[in-house]
C-alpha cells in the first residue's frame, strides 16, 4: 500500500486567522494585510503586534508593546556564561535550540491563560536576538554587547552583533527582512510548534522544537545553502556552466522553487530589490551572481523539463545577509529572530483556539508498509533458533 499524501501536502489540519498564502497569485497575507503593503509602510514591531493581537496597534499600544520588548531583551548572565562552555564551532542552530529551551530554567513556564501567553511571547521575541548576538560575540572572542534601549528591534540586533549602530538605510533593510520572514502559515517549523503546543507543552518548549525543524536545509537552512552555492560559483561568468551541470545531473538549485507558490514568491520580490540596493551600496558582486542564477535556472528548467520555476524567499536573502557581514551560518538563526513571532502567534492560537473544533492533540494516522507475516503476526523465535 502506498501513502497518498506524502508530507501532509494539501491536507487541512486546523483553522488559522494568522496568515494566508495564495500560491497561484503569489500573495502572502498577515491578518488580512498584504505583505507588500506591510513592508512598504510598517515596521517589524508593528507587524509583530499585528500577528500576535490580530490588529494594527494604536500609537499607545505600540509604545507599550515596544517598551515591553525593550525591557525583555536581557538574558541571564549565567546563560551567557554557559554559552562560553560550548565548542566555538558548534552549529548556531543547535545552540539556539538549546538556549531557547533553557529559558524555562530561568523563567516561569506558566502560560495557562492568554495574557500570560502574550507576556511569554514578548519575552521570547525580545530574547532570541540577544541569544544569537551573545553567541556570535563569544565565539569570536569578543565582549558581549548589551542591548541598547534606544534602538529598534532590527538596529539593536545589528548593534549587539557588531558593536556599532547601523546606518538608517541598513537598519531599514534589515527591518523589512524581519517583516518578510515573520510568518508563513503552516510551514514545517510552525506546524512543529503547533503540534508540540497541542500536547499542552509550554511556549519555550514548542518554540525550541520549531527551531529544530527550521534548522534543516529544506526549510530555514536553505538560505545558508544558497550562500554556499554562490560562494562556490564565485563569479558571474561561471554561473551558466555551474547551473547547467547541476541541472543535467538532476540536482536541486537551492533558492529556486516552492511547495506552495506557483509564481514569484512575493517575499523574493522585495528581497531582490533590497539585495540590489545593498549591492549598489557595498559594490559587492553577490546580487549580480544571484540574479544570473535566477535567470539561468528559469531558462534551463524551461528547456530541460518544459516547466516554470521561480525564486523563493531564500535566494536573495542569502546575498543580502552576506553583504550585511553576517556570518553564513547565522542566516538560519536570523530567520528565527523573525519567525519566532509567527511561532508564538500560532502557539497561542493552538492553545486558545476560537475557530472550528479540532482534536486536542495532533495524532495523524500512518500507513503501515512493513513486514507482514499473517493475521497472527510474525512467529517469535528464541535466539538459538534464529539463522
| 109 lies in some domain | yes
Quick check: 360 pLDDT over 80?
A: no
As a whole number, mean pLDDT of residues 301-321 equals: 92
- For the stretch 109-127, what's the b/e string if a residue is b when 16 or more beta carbons lie within 10 angstroms of its beta carbon? eebeeeeebbbbbbbbbbb
Task: Give the C-alpha separation, 352 to 348, whole Å.
Answer: 6
Q: Do 174 and 281 fall into the same domain?
A: no
Q: Which three cell numbers stand for residue 140?
A: 569570536
Q: Do 41 and 143 fall into the same domain?
A: yes
Q: Do 194 and 249 fall into the same domain?
A: no
Q: Which of 314, 329, 346, 384 is catalytic?
A: 314
Alpha carbon 87 to its chain centroid, in Å, reads 24
| 279 lies in some domain | yes
Q: Do 215 and 332 fall into the same domain?
A: yes
| 365 lies in some domain | no
Chain mean pLDDT for the chain: 92
Q: Which three cell numbers stand for residue 297?
A: 535556472
| 387 lies in some domain | no
| 233 lies in some domain | yes
Quick check: 5 pLDDT over 70?
A: no
Name the H helices within 181-215: 188-197, 203-214
Q: Do 262 and 205 fall into the same domain?
A: no
User: What residues are paired with 27 via a beta bridge?
Assistant: 22
Helix (H) or strand (E) segment spanning residue 135: helix 114-139
Is 314 catalytic? The answer is yes
Q: Do 116 and 99 fall into the same domain?
A: yes
| 332 lies in some domain | yes
CB 203 within 8 A of CB 124: yes
| 91 lies in some domain | yes
Q: How confident is the model at residue 220 (pLDDT cuts 50, 70, 90)?
A: confident
Q: What is the CATH number of the domain that holds 229?
A: 1.10.230.10
Q: To 5 degrees, how large is the angle CA 23–CA 28–CA 30?
A: 145
User: What residues are paired with 28 via a beta bridge?
Assistant: 21
Predicted pLDDT at 377: 86
Q: Do 71 and 38 fall into the same domain?
A: yes
Q: Do 304 and 232 fall into the same domain?
A: yes
- Dihedral over Cα of 359, 113, 123, 178: its sign: positive
Task: Give the C-alpha separation, 297 to 302, whole Å.
Answer: 8
pLDDT in tens, 125-171: 999 999 999 999 999 999 999 999 999 999 999 999 999 999 999 99
Quick check: 356 pLDDT over 60?
A: no
CB 255 within 8 A of CB 315: yes
Task: Give the C-alpha separation, 340 to 207, whole Å.
Answer: 7
CB 270 within 8 A of CB 39: yes
pTM: 0.92
pLDDT in tens, 25-48: 999 999 999 999 999 999 999 999
Q: Do 337 and 210 fall into the same domain?
A: yes
Number of domains in the chain: 2
Report the relative pairing of strands 33-34 and 19-22 from DSSP bridges.
unpaired
Q: How confident is the model at residue 1 (pLDDT cuts 50, 70, 90)?
A: very low
Quick check: 71 pLDDT over 80?
A: yes
Task: Give the C-alpha separation, 369 to 81, whole Å.
Answer: 49
Q: Which residues, including other chains, have CB under 8 Å from residue 366's CB and lie 6 or more apart?
A: none
Predicted pLDDT at 296: 96
Q: Which residues, including other chains, have CB under 8 Å from residue 165's CB and lie 6 or more apart?
A: 148, 151, 155, 158, 159
**Domain end point (choices 322, 337, 365):** 322
Predicted pLDDT at 260: 86
Q: Which residues, including other chains, have CB under 8 Å from residue 259's CB and lie 6 or more apart?
A: 9
Task: Give the C-alpha separation, 277 to 240, whole Å.
Answer: 24
Task: Give the C-alpha separation, 45 to 310, whole Å.
Answer: 30
Q: Which of 153, 258, 265, 346 is catalytic?
A: 258
Q: Do 191 and 274 fall into the same domain?
A: no
Q: Print the domain residue range for 138.
A: 17-219+328-351
Q: Do 185 and 243 fall into the same domain?
A: no
Task: Give the C-alpha separation, 333 to 311, whole Å.
Answer: 21
Instruction: Return the C-alpha torsion angle 337, 35, 314, 204, nearest 10.
Output: 30
CB 275 within 8 A of CB 290: yes
Strand 27-30's sheet: what is its strand order? Answer: 19-22, 27-30, 33-34
CB 94 within 8 A of CB 83: no
Q: Do 174 and 117 fall into the same domain?
A: yes
| 6 lies in some domain | no
Is 346 catalytic? The answer is no
- For the ranges 19-23, 159-163, 263-267, 366-370, the maximum mean pLDDT occurs at 159-163
Q: What is the CATH number of the domain that holds 77?
A: 1.10.580.10
Amino acid at each position: 500500500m502506498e501513502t497518498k499524501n506524502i508530507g501532509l501536502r494539501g491536507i487541512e489540519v486546523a483553522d488559522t486567522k494568522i496568515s494566508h498564502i495564495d500560491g497561484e497569485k503569489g500573495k502572502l497575507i498577515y491578518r488580512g494585510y498584504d505583505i507588500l503593503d506591510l513592508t512598504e509602510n510598517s515596521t517589524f514591531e508593528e507587524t509583530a503586534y499585528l500577528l500576535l493581537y490580530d490588529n494594527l496597534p494604536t500609537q499607545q499600544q505600540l509604545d507599550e508593546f515596544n517598551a515591553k520588548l525593550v525591557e525583555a531583551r536581557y538574558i541571564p548572565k549565567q546563560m551567557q556564561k554557559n554559552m562560553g562552555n560550548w565548542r566555538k564551532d558548534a552549529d548556531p542552530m543547535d545552540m539556539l535550540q538549546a538556549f531557547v529551551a533553557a529559558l524555562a530554567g530561568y523563567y516561569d513556564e506558566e502560560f495557562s491563560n492568554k495574557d500570560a501567553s502574550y507576556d511569554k511571547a514578548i519575552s521570547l521575541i525580545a530574547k532570541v536576538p540577544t541569544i544569537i548576538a551573545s553567541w556570535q560575540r563569544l565565539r569570536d572572542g569578543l565582549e558581549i554587547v548589551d542591548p541598547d534601549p534606544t534602538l529598534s528591534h532590527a538596529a539593536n540586533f545589528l548593534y549587539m552583533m557588531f558593536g556599532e549602530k547601523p546606518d538608517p538605510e541598513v537598519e531599514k533593510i534589515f527591518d523589512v527582512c524581519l517583516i518578510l520572514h515573520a510568518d508563513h502559515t503552516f510551514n514545517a517549523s510552525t506546524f512543529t510548534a503547533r503540534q508540540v503546543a497541542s500536547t499542552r507543552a509550554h511556549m519555550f518548549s514548542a518554540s525550541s522544537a520549531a527551531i529544530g525543524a527550521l534548522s534543516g536545509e529544506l526549510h530555514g537552512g536553505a538560505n545558508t545553502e544558497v550562500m554556499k552555492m554562490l560562494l562556490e560559483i564565485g563569479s558571474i561568468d561561471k554561473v551558466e556552466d555551474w547551473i547547467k551541470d547541476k541541472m543535467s545531473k538532476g540536482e536541486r538549485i537551492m533558492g529556486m522553487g516552492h511547495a506552495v507558490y506557483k509564481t514569484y514568491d512575493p517575499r523574493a520580490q522585495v528581497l531582490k530589490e533590497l539585495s540590489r540596493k545593498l549591492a549598489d551600496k557595498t559594490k559587492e558582486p553577490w546580487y549580480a551572481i544571484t540574479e544570473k542564477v535566477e535567470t539561468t535556472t528559469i531558462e534551463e528548467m524551461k528547456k530541460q523539463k518544459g516547466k516554470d520555476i521561480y525564486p523563493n524567499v531564500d535566494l536573495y536573502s542569502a546575498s543580502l545577509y552576506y553583504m550585511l557581514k553576517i556570518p553564513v551560518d547565522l542566516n538560519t538563526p536570523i530567520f528565527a529572530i523573525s519567525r519566532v513571532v509567527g511561532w508564538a502567534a500560532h502557539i497561542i492560537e493552538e492553545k486558545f483556539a476560537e475557530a472550528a473544533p479540532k482534536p486536542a492533540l495532533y495524532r495523524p494516522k500512518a500507513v503501515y508498509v512493513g513486514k507482514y507475516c499473517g493475521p497472527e503476526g510474525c512467529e517469535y523465535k528464541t535466539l538459538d533458533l534464529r539463522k
